[in-house]
Copies of this chain bind each other. A is one copy, B any other.
Amino acid sequence: MSGWLKVVGLGPGADGMVTPEVSAALAEATDIVGYIPYVARVAPRPGLTLHPSDNRVEAERARAALDMARAGARVVVVSSGDPGVFAMAAAVLEVLTPADDALDLQILPGITAMLAAAARAGAPLGHDFCAINLSDNLKPWALVEKRLRLAAEADFAMAFYNPRSKSRPEGFAKVLDLLRGACGPDRLIIFARAVSTPEERLTTVTLAEATPEMADMRTVVLVTNSLGRRAGRFVYSPRSAPEPTAAGAS
């Protein structure tokens, strides 16, 4: 028996954004492991066992997947989007042991939510940008705020994952307040919900107009850099940044 483990990204939702190499891995698998709604995206078939699990059990899920692969199963761990962006790739590597050096372990990229959302919106991440997970499950809130301030000072375009949760409804309101102070009221912000699914909804407003309720846990939030602008129904951050003037920022 030669088991293997592939940690794959299913993209944001549409079948047309699942890469052929990920589809091939799913077709060859004996076992699919992942968060309930992501496992539900894999069609059942004879010979395939689905192992859905709840949120916040990533380490246990990763250990179970490794155990099955060590025992000879062909295991696919599924993430939405890309497995390396706030998803299962790091969770698997965190529980890898030296005995796994011989294991056939591959990570297969996917279309991550921010890039699917950016494509729908235009090119809001068309210049230097950052991606921040706004969940404070795994890091202190002070670190989130510090990163937001430095990202604004760097004039990065920004992408935010996990903007809101039931357990901290006030967090995203604080983020919007901080951004209004750091970036000004006219900066463009895009709320992209469930991109590429039937529930897709895109809303572009200024920071002055933005409210926390515009985001839920299926929303990725994008903010242009200071040069961001509209072009018809699209939004983009220009490729160029001008030379600073004598009065400009340092």
CB contacts (< 8 Å) of A236 on chain B: these are: 89-90, 93-94
Chain B, residue nearest A240 (CB): B138
CB contacts (< 8 Å) of A153 on chain B: these are: 150
A91 interface hit (Cβ, 8 Å): yes
Q: A11-B19, A239-B91 are in contact. Are A232 and B96 (CB under 8 A)?
A: yes
- 1/0 contact string of A100-115 vs chain B (CB within 8 Å): 1100010111111001
Interchain CA distance A110-B243 in the complex, whole Å: 31
Interface contact A115-B85, CB-CB below 8 Å: yes
Chain B, residue nearest A235 (CB): B93
Of A141-149, A175-183, A204-212, the one with at least 4 CB within 8 A of chain B: A141-149
- 1/0 contact string of A238-250 vs chain B (CB within 8 Å): 1111111000001
Interchain CA distance A94-B122 in the complex, whole Å: 11
Of A26-34, A67-75, A124-132, A165-173, the one with at least 4 CB within 8 A of chain B: A124-132
User: Could you list some 25 contacts between A and B, CB below 8 A?
Assistant: A16-B20, A17-B19, A17-B21, A17-B109, A19-B19, A83-B119, A84-B118, A84-B123, A84-B126, A90-B123, A90-B127, A90-B238, A91-B239, A93-B122, A93-B123, A94-B239, A96-B231, A98-B232, A101-B233, A105-B234, A108-B119, A125-B131, A140-B241, A150-B154, A151-B154
Interface contact B93-A107, CB-CB below 8 Å: no
A42 interface hit (Cβ, 8 Å): no
CB contacts (< 8 Å) of A85 on chain B: these are: 115, 125-126
CB contacts (< 8 Å) of A82 on chain B: these are: 115, 119
CB contacts (< 8 Å) of A250 on chain B: these are: 146
Interchain CA distance A138-B83 in the complex, whole Å: 31
A217 interface hit (Cβ, 8 Å): no
Cβ-defined partner of A240 (8 Å) among B24, B139, B233: B139
CB contacts (< 8 Å) of A101 on chain B: these are: 232-233
